[in-house]
Amino acid sequence: MREVMFTQSRSRGGLIIACMAALVLLASAGGLFSPPAETQASPPNLPITSWHFFSQTTEPTSGTGTARAGDNLEGASFVSSGTWTRAWQHRNWSQEEVIGAEQYVEFSIDATGYGDISVDVHLRSSLAMDFILYYSIDGENFTALPDTQHTSPGGSYNVYNFDFADVPLMNDRETLAFRVYGYNAQSDAATLGIDYFEIYGTTGFTAIQPADPPAVSSTQPLDGALDVPITAALTLNFEPAVDIAADAFALVCDGLAVTLDAPTGAALESATLTPSASLPHGAVCTLTARADRIGNADGQLNGGDDHQITFSTTADPFGACDDSATAIQSLNPPADDIVIQGVVIGDYQGAGGLGGFYVQDSGDDPTRSDGVFVYTGADSVTISAGDVVRLMGAARVVDGQRQIEPERVTVCASGQALPEAVTVSLPFDSADYLERYVGMLVTFPQDLTVTDAFLLGRHGELTLAYGDRLYQPTQVTTAGADAAALRAANDLNRLIIDDASLTQNPDPIIFPLPHGLSAADTVRAGDTVRGVVGVLTYTAGRIGAAGTLDYRLRPHLSAPAWTFTASNPRPTSPPDVGGRLTVATYNVLNYFITLDGGAAVCGASGTLGCRGAQTPEELTRQEQKLVAALVAINADVVGLVELENPRVGDPSAALARLVAALNDATGATTYAYIDTGTIGGDAIKNGLIYQPDAVTPIGPFAVLDDQDPFTRNTRPPLAQVFEENATGERFMVVVNHFKAKSGCPADGHPHHAGNADSGDGQACWNADRVLAAGVLVDWLDELTATTGVGRVLLMGDLNAYANEDPLRLLADNGYQNLMSSSSGYSFAFDGEWGTLDYVLANSIIAGEITGAAHWHINADEPPVLDYRTSFKSAAQIVSLYDATPYRSSDHDPMLVGLSLTPTPAVQNGDSAEDGIAALYTGAVENLRVAFNMAVFDDPTNPDHPDNASNPNNYMLLSADDADEPTCADIIATDGERLHPAVVVYAPDEHASTLTFAPPLEDGDYVLLVCGTTSIVSAQNPQIRLNGGADWRISFRVQTAAPVDSASGADSADAMTAGDRPASAAEIDAEQPQPEALGISQLPATGQSPSQYQRVLTLLLDRGGRVGLSIAPR
């Protein structure tokens, strides 16, 4: 017999016959289960057959019928159920939540002519269990009756009444059978006993014939189909529509069950079944549609018979080792069931690795790669380089690289020779040239130069170039088309070499091979690498490192042939720039003593983010490196960039601490600093330190903080005049930090025009840097005029490369770049090099520069060797650090040597009375002007305007001219003046003899020796007399000597030291007295004039005092 049910609930509450509920709904709606349309008699419901078991027999108590138990029930017995009756009892009921085979009791009668069937059952279970009634109209095929599922609570008898008037298929049946199924029993000893079972009906009914049962009309694949794809879906179509319960289908392939994803529901015309995994290749599969789970109001599928189809899947394409396989060159993802065979050339599985390995075969198309990445992810495969593997899987393109996701991998052989590495050379022909080699073993036979180590610590990678390091285009050529062309050429001359890891901040850092990176064993830009061989990949640098997809050569570490050569060794000492003085500029990379803890408490306002060290340990390490660098540089003046800017009103605490550390290191008060306090509104500022034994600051510092862009986004320049202690010569140092190239202004920004990246190679904020340069030039013109100091060194981080607009503007205004634009560098960005850090000299001081150079201690070094402890292992915090100058910043310092030329000036002499330098009796024919050093005079070019022998460089004025014009003023206005008729310059005596014709007669005169226009140093023609100021000498000529009223002596002879007037500096306190050459004394002072030889020697010292010497006949 067949137990029938349509669907089941997996709750303990029991079995719910959903499909039968649908049948009942159909019947109640007038469907196939409805009685005939004609009216039938409805006499009273009468007992047909009943069983009461007090007689301890299965024979009916009334009526006719049979009662029996299923074969799997045990312990049949008749037990007392009261004082006058007994129950028919069994055990071994189903303990599952579904009914079991042959676990029922069955009651069968002849119900011919009866309808409106109902049943009364009186039963009891020893323990709680569920039960349900099934019925059959042929004694073989049983159908569950909805609404008959109940739970017997156990321990007491209960009466259950069931009315089946709405099941017309029971009407007028020669055979009408009912089964009581017990299930969900608490144990196999639990019993279920029936005290009585009574069947009632009404006479006068005729049978309704059931409609044809539903059937399968077609399938895909067809029954008996061959070569069915292993990923094919399976479809069955039904006629008419059916209700499908859970577990309605079963698929078995080669004896193994396959889980199916199948639909359930009512009135379905088809069912598409999806296997949970690909079917096995070459398998014979049987698909069964279960009749007891599929049906409709007309009955079960096929009238109760399961529907089956059999088909076979495609043969296994994997094959055996050395069978034909797909050539890697021909892979065209996406594609499934791809079979390849080749040699493992690189295994990058395991923790932190690339998540797979590379396989290479041999193809005949040199424009397509013979290699492919095999992605295994967390499911590593045991293989090694040199294994021949055969594998099958899905081919895909992931992040631009072909890969196979394997389903099967077989090692065919081990220890095989690797394919010969393909020779590739830099530069490449095109941006996608390397595509043809991705996944292959390649080698570069050239000596390649390290051009970028920025990501060595974070990603474990270096960038190499052929030839020299790569330079920023605007370092060596003009912005625009030329720069774009050079950038394109640079892009074709790069090769990234990367370790075998995708872990950020790797430990160890494997480059330089073979020992790896440490503070003592570095790899610097400019170093060279030979024998580069490895697997070319197209991958990211690290997991989570967005935008780093690139061609990367992974070293073949099983046989490293790489040779790293320190072609750019660390400089052990600063470059020798000569000179008596050394001046330097140094960007100290955010030296803050307020730790960067994330709070916005820094800057002039105290509301800006802090920078630099984040912990006391980091600050100590940063200071140690900076002090080591500055002590080694040993400059007399240093312009510092990126110092912490204190809050308004606070002193320069960071600068004070740095100077204290320097003095501690040198063991003396070697350095002092210019305490500017707050400068501007940024978090950082510029600063100055100096050695008091060598130089002395003159006057207050000056800051340009009241003009755009220095009021907005550019750190204000800091200027200070220094005097060389040994010579008294003065020069001005101006420290700058222009706006950086990053963070372009967005559309709509008030300063967007000219500051957005135009693509010409100068990046962002170029217009503001140009504006800053122009404003700076005008400000320096004012400073040199007000201070009287003409020598200017403009220095700092200008954030512009050598051929960019700001540097061109400064050059056009006389500020000379002291470094070569083609090979100089102080900073690297994106593997391209150039100068951002400068010392520029104006024309006056340029000739006194003895040397200039960057000290390459920082930019060449990997950033991971800096002072920071973050993103480093405990071991790396130790191994990657030492208290040396190397990587003390990201910018290289620049040093300049100076040997300042003495300034022409008048030599010391005595003063005269009442502003009159000399009183002379008798006409004067000759004046002799002697200098304290050689001045320029070219006897081969007597008309040279700067000649000391040029009469135009000496002007005689009337002392009545109250305006005190300069030589430059007089020339500009063509004012009245008298020049000597002849001037003879004696170079060995450093003196000029001025001859006037006719001789000078009575009167007060002023002689101008022209420093504003012409008289210059012979050693350095940029150095003018008196620092670019005229020397003004006044004297009086009397043809008759005055007689002292008391003694009658000549006044010139009688004048004593106590009678001498105040110096010219005291007389004309407003006249600036800068560094100056003097007019030396020839001959000695104090000699009386002769009435025949009229030679007047004028004497001035550096303080501006004038004296007179009369030469005797």
pLDDT 10s digits, 462-486? 999 999 999 999 999 999 999 999 9
* Amino acid letter for position 609: G
List the domain range (segments joined by +) for residue 691.
581-898
Q: Which of 297, 312, 327 is the last residue of a domain?
A: 312
SS (H, E, C) 164-178: CCCCHHHCCEEEEEE
User: For residue 903, is it within any domain?
Assistant: no
Buried b (16+ CB within 10 A) or exposed e, 443-467: bbebbbbbbbbbbbbbbbbbbbbbe
User: For residue 105, is it within any domain?
Assistant: yes
Q: Are residues 890 and 933 in the same domain?
A: no
Q: What is the tally of structural domains in the chain?
A: 6
Residue 323 has pLDDT above 90, yes or no: yes
Give dist(CA 721, CA 734) in Å, integer.
Answer: 9
Which among 1041, 975, 1031 has a CA at the least distance from the CA of 1002? 1041
Q: Which residue has the higher pLDDT, 206 or 1050?
A: 206
Q: Please name the residue that has the structure tokens 């199916």.
A: 260
Q: Are residues 708 and 825 in the same domain?
A: yes
Of 347-361, 491-505, 580-594, 898-912, the poorest mean pLDDT is in: 898-912
Q: Are residues 679 and 824 in the same domain?
A: yes
Which among 374, 501, 370, 495 has a CA at the least distance from the CA of 438? 370
pLDDT given at position 546: 55
Query: DSSP states of 593-641 as a string?
Result: SS---S---BSTTS-BPP-S-SSHHHHHHHHHHHHHHHHHH--SEEEEE
User: For residue 347, is it within any domain?
Assistant: yes
Contact 52, 21 (CB under 8 A): no
Radius of gyration of the chain (CA): 54
CB atoms within 10 A of CB 108: 19
- What confidence tens digit (pLDDT) does each residue in 746-801 have? 998 999 999 999 999 999 999 999 999 999 999 999 999 999 899 999 999 999 99
pLDDT given at position 770: 98
Q: Are residues 1105 and 957 in the same domain?
A: yes
Q: Are residues 531 and 630 in the same domain?
A: no
Total residues belonging to the chain: 1113
- What confidence tens digit (pLDDT) does each residue in 282-316 have? 999 999 999 999 998 788 999 889 999 999 999 88
CB atoms within 10 A of CB 44: 7
- What confidence tens digit (pLDDT) does each residue in 1081-1092 have? 333 333 333 332
- Token representation of residue 824: 């100089």
- Dihedral of alpha carbons 770, 775, 778, 779, sign: negative
Q: Are residues 176 and 65 in the same domain?
A: yes
Contact 735, 721 (CB under 8 A): no
Q: How confident is the model at residue 725 (pLDDT cuts 50, 70, 90)?
A: very high
User: For residue 9, is it within any domain?
Assistant: no
- Token representation of residue 290: 């279960």
Q: Which residue has the higher pLDDT, 28 or 122?
A: 122
Q: Are residues 585 and 508 in the same domain?
A: no
Give dist(CA 1076, CA 146) in Å, integer.
Answer: 122
Which residues have C-beta within 8 Å of that of residue 182, sequence separation ≥ 6?
93, 94, 103, 104, 125, 129, 130, 131, 192
Which among 814, 670, 642 has a CA at the least distance from the CA of 735? 642
SS3 content of the chain, % helix, strand, coil (to 5): 15, 35, 50
pLDDT given at position 1019: 87
Per cent of the chain over pLDDT 70 is 87
Q: Are residues 696 and 831 in the same domain?
A: yes
User: For residue 736, is it within any domain?
Assistant: yes
Q: What is the pTM of this model?
A: 0.69
Query: DSSP states of 1041-1066 as a string?
Result: --B-TTT--BHHHH--GGGPPPPHHH
- What confidence tens digit (pLDDT) does each residue in 433-445 have? 999 999 999 999 9
The CATH number assigned to the domain holding 229 equals 2.60.40.1220
The CATH number assigned to the domain holding 346 equals 2.40.50.140
Report whether the peptide linkage leading into residue 1089 is cis, meaning its omega lies within 30 degrees of zero.
no
Of 135-149, 353-367, 399-413, 587-601, the poorest mean pLDDT is in: 135-149
pLDDT given at position 28: 34
Q: Which residue has the higher pLDDT, 299 or 829?
A: 829
Q: Which of 497, 531, 565 is the last residue of a domain?
A: 565
Alpha helix ranges (H) inside 839-913: 843-846, 874-879
Q: Are residues 881 and 942 in the same domain?
A: no
Report whether the peptide linkage leading into residue 998 is cis, meaning its omega lies within 30 degrees of zero.
yes
- What confidence tens digit (pLDDT) does each residue in 902-923 have? 888 755 333 333 445 667 667 7
Contact 953, 1033 (CB under 8 A): no
For β-strands 401-413 and 371-375, DSSP reports them as parallel
User: For residue 264, is it within any domain?
Assistant: yes
User: For residue 904, is it within any domain?
Assistant: no
Q: Which of 402, 419, 436 is the last residue of a domain?
A: 419
- Token representation of residue 793: 């060194």
pLDDT given at position 544: 60
Q: Are residues 198 and 250 in the same domain?
A: no
Q: Are residues 958 and 1091 in the same domain?
A: yes
The CATH number assigned to the domain holding 45 equals 2.60.120.260
Which among 1015, 862, 997, 801 has a CA at the least distance from the CA of 929? 1015
Please, what is the Cα angle at 511 between 507 and 515, to 5 degrees? 85
The CATH number assigned to the domain holding 534 equals 2.40.50
Contact 702, 678 (CB under 8 A): no
Q: Are residues 1012 and 927 in the same domain?
A: yes
User: For residue 825, is it within any domain?
Assistant: yes
- What confidence tens digit (pLDDT) does each residue in 61-114 have? 999 999 999 999 999 999 887 666 789 999 999 999 889 889 999 999 999 999
